Structure 1
Amino acid sequence: MSTDMLRSMQLEEILKYAIRYCNENNMENPVDVLRYIQCILVQGRPLDIEAIDSTIEGETNYVVIDRHNILESSFEEIRALENLRLTLEVQFYEESAVDLGGPRKEFFGTILRAIADNYFEPIRPWSDDYETIGQIIALSILQNGPLPSFLTPEICDDLLYGDSPRSFVKDLRKGINALGLQELVLGIPCLKFLFYPGTPKPVTLKAVTNLFTPEFSPEGSNSRSQETKVFMRFIKYLREVAGGRRGQVTLRKILEFATGSDEEPILGYRIKPSLVFVTNSLPSFIPMSNTCINRLTLVKATNGESLPTDDVLFNLFDYAFSNNYFGLQ
């Protein structure tokens, strides 16, 4: 059966088909299973662009989110959606970035952190928001967002297997079942990994430097010389960040600035992260990025120009990596 035919089926039919298909084909790797389910369950526009010079089109769930009121604005927008299977397209208030995958990833990371802080530390058993929270968790899992690592094993046991779950867990279960996640976990046991992910993988200096491959000009060129100089300073800055010497800036913030997420997606990056160099017509060395293609851009000096001192340059880096706007160019 073709992917398009499967996507056109009703949710219950797809869940039964997916469970049967994965079991009959002995699919036991949760990443492979999730990739398959995402492929047949998510409708509308593709989730991410697949090449730097391409674009994507199709139907989406368009939501408008207030960064400064992330919980209320997100809950209102998600509750208004009629078909949760459509790709989410996120627009932040007063920002011009077009969501081709980057703003959506940033949204999921931001809203899940706010949910963890406000609804699970401590629990609000009287709140009627947990069903919507469950829907957001399901959307994040299926649309390349972070896993819900803030859920304790006790809550997960109650959510997925409990016969008489607590009231807030019952609402949470109703939310994830809007996209059939509990039924999928029960039918394909390896998927419980999505709710019991364990300790998040640390973001290290080595991981960040290996992730962002610099795209240098040819050896011996003037451009290569300037690119090498700013890249060496950037590596020195990363060491400062890794050592906790740049205030609130962390390696996770830099990763989020460049890719829209502070951790590598469970299904990996559709486009490998890269680091490029540009000459800015303005007298500024503030880094930029395009989170839809996972690209970090450093500004190199022009011929005859010198880079600022470490103090000045590193303060500009701090400013960029602490400011969400610059990560959505």
Structure 2
Amino acid sequence: MSMEKITELLQAHSKKVITPSYRRIFISRVDVWTTAFRYFHQDSFARHHGLLMVSFACDLHAFEMEPPDCGGPRREFFRRLIKAIFEDSGAFEESPTGFIPKLNASHLENGVYRTIGRMMSTIMIQGGEPPARLAPCVVDYILTGDVLQVNATPDDVSASELREMLKKVETSSTERELEDAVKRCDSWRFEVEGLPNPVNMNTKDTLVKKAALFHVILKSQACLDQLIDGLSYYEVLPLFRENPSMHIFLDMPKVKKEFTADDIAGMFKPRYSELHSRFGQEAMVLKFLEFLEYIQGKTLEEKLHFRVLTKAQETFLKTLRPVHILQFATGSSTIPTLGFNPRPHIVFLYGDRTSHPKANTSRNELQICFSLENMSDSDEFDFSFFEALMNSPVCR
């Protein structure tokens, strides 16, 4: 199924399950996990299916309702929530192929995995970035509910020492090598029921396959089942099981694609004003495209060589990437599950007191200031853009 068709299916489902109401939530950027968990963990909260209207604690002075079809703060929140789920919740651990559930008895008792399932469902149905960080074998179990249809490999195992043990067994080419590799597994293999014993060249693959399945799926199966229960929120689970191609919203990509300067430039369409000079507006677009290339080529520091940068500016300059501009203008670091609505675009501001670009994430709008300073051949445009990105909480 094409990506376009998958997106259309999710859009149609989203329109069907989201109710015409809103739920205001208040989130701390410095503690997204705790502040978000308080909401999603409540059964009363999960009984409602309206759009989330997100306000960040540091932005309360700008408190206002947003248009229902936009939601820049919501996209930013979902991006931060995905990071919190996999890095701050204590519910997952990372393997070379993606994240797998971490057996946590307290989390299991308190229904944390179910709450995470609700979070993931909400993120996908309400147009956030795909939470595509799970190991594919974990997604196989989510979509089938059948451990016999899961193909776990040593690379899916999060513990590096155990992973290397299994790989030694898997790659053994002689009986002596196999004997030595199996001995290294004696500290745990007798505690796993059903593994072949003794192990020989004919049964070593069975040992590896069953051991990987145990450590990745069976050991934390109760956690996974609770996560699956949470994914029933917004009827996401049956939708995904009927359309297995949607696994791309959950699978960790085999190759992580970084947006290039050309990618970002292609996403933003200039909206030229007939009230002002087309020549001047196109000149601003060219400066924007050059700025993207400076970031891509890591030459922005050279462009700003006349500036005395602070330590914080030097640090941010080293981490600056083209995707920061997408975050700045939309709140998202990738294409959301439902696509961008409206499409990211550039508008031009006249008479603004500063030369710094601005953004309206609810409209996916990058606002470039037209000024004599920005039009000059100096580094004013580039430095102003750099400062705006660095000082924006959306980019951090």
Q: Calculate the TM-score normalised by the size of structure 2.
A: 0.64
CA contact (8 A) 2:260 2:322 kept: yes
Structure having the larger proportion of residues in helix: 2
* Counterpart pick for 2:77 among 88, 107, 115: 107
* Counterpart pick for 1:301 among 348, 359, 371: 371
* Counterpart pick for 1:140 among 105, 123, 144: 123
- SS, match of residue 192 in structure 1: helix
CA contact (8 A) 2:28 2:35 kept: yes
CA contact (8 A) 2:26 2:56 kept: yes
For 2:37, the aligned partner's letter is: F
Shift of residue 265 of structure 1? 2.2
Shift of residue 37 of structure 1? 0.9
Shift of residue 107 of structure 1? 0.7
Output the CA distance in 2 between the equivalents of 1:91 and 1:276. Answer: 25
Greater shift, 307-316 or 34-43, is seen at 307-316
CA contact (8 A) 1:33 1:191 kept: no
Q: Deviations over 1:229-274 (max 9, x none)?
A: 3332222110011124442222211111111211122332221221
1:131 counterpart residue number: 114
1:93 counterpart residue number: 57
1:78 counterpart residue number: 40
- Correspondences of 1:2-17 after superposition (within 5 Å): none
Q: Calculate the TM-score normalised by the size of structure 1.
A: 0.76
CA contact (8 A) 1:286 1:299 kept: yes
Are positions 1:227 and 2:191 aligned together? no
2:212 counterpart residue number: none
CA contact (8 A) 1:273 1:295 kept: yes
Output the CA distance in 2 between the equivalents of 1:148 and 1:222. Answer: 42
For residues 125 and 308 of structure 1, do their structure 2 counterparts lie closer, same or farther at Cα, with a shift above 3 Å needed? farther
Shift of residue 194 of structure 1? 3.0
1:285 counterpart residue number: 355
Shift of residue 148 of structure 1? 1.6
CA contact (8 A) 2:249 2:337 kept: no
2:14 counterpart residue number: 38
Are positions 1:321 and 2:384 aligned together? no
Shift of residue 311 of structure 1? 4.0
CA contact (8 A) 1:90 1:103 kept: yes
Shift of residue 182 of structure 1? 2.1
- Correspondences of 1:196-235 after superposition (within 5 Å): 196=251, 198=253, 199=255, 201-218=257-274, 223-235=277-289
Shift of residue 41 of structure 1? 0.8
For residues 200 and 62 of structure 1, do their structure 2 counterparts lie closer, same or farther at Cα, with a shift above 3 Å needed? farther
* Counterpart pick for 1:257 among 318, 328, 333: 328
Are positions 1:175 and 2:263 aligned together? no
Greater shift, 263-272 or 88-97, is seen at 263-272
**Larger radius of gyration, structure 1 or 2?**
2
What root-mean-square deviation, in Å, do the aligned CA atoms of Structure 1 and Structure 2 show? Answer: 2.7
Output the CA distance in 1 between the equivalents of 2:257 and 2:374. Answer: 38
For residues 235 and 125 of structure 1, do their structure 2 counterparts lie closer, same or farther at Cα, with a shift above 3 Å needed? same
Output the CA distance in 2 between the equivalents of 1:179 and 1:134. Answer: 11
1:9 counterpart residue number: none
2:340 counterpart residue number: 269
1:247 counterpart residue number: 318
2:291 counterpart residue number: 237
Shift of residue 105 of structure 1? 0.9
Output the CA distance in 1 between the equivalents of 2:343 and 2:102. Answer: 40
CA contact (8 A) 2:132 2:248 kept: no
- SS, match of residue 34 in structure 2: helix
Shift of residue 300 of structure 1? 1.0
Output the CA distance in 2 between the equivalents of 1:318 and 1:222. Answer: 26
Shift of residue 97 of structure 1? 5.4
CA contact (8 A) 1:253 1:322 kept: no
Output the CA distance in 1 between the equivalents of 2:57 and 2:114. Answer: 25
For 1:66, the aligned partner's letter is: S
CA contact (8 A) 1:320 1:326 kept: no
- SS, match of residue 180 in structure 1: helix
Q: Deviations over 1:111-142 (max 9, x none)?
A: 10222223434454215232221111100111
For 2:331, the aligned partner's letter is: G
Output the CA distance in 2 between the equivalents of 1:228 and 1:323. Answer: 26
Output the CA distance in 2 between the equivalents of 1:135 and 1:291. Answer: 25
Output the CA distance in 2 between the equivalents of 1:256 and 1:314. Answer: 18
Output the CA distance in 2 between the equivalents of 1:82 and 1:253. Answer: 32
**Percent of residue pairs identical:** 25
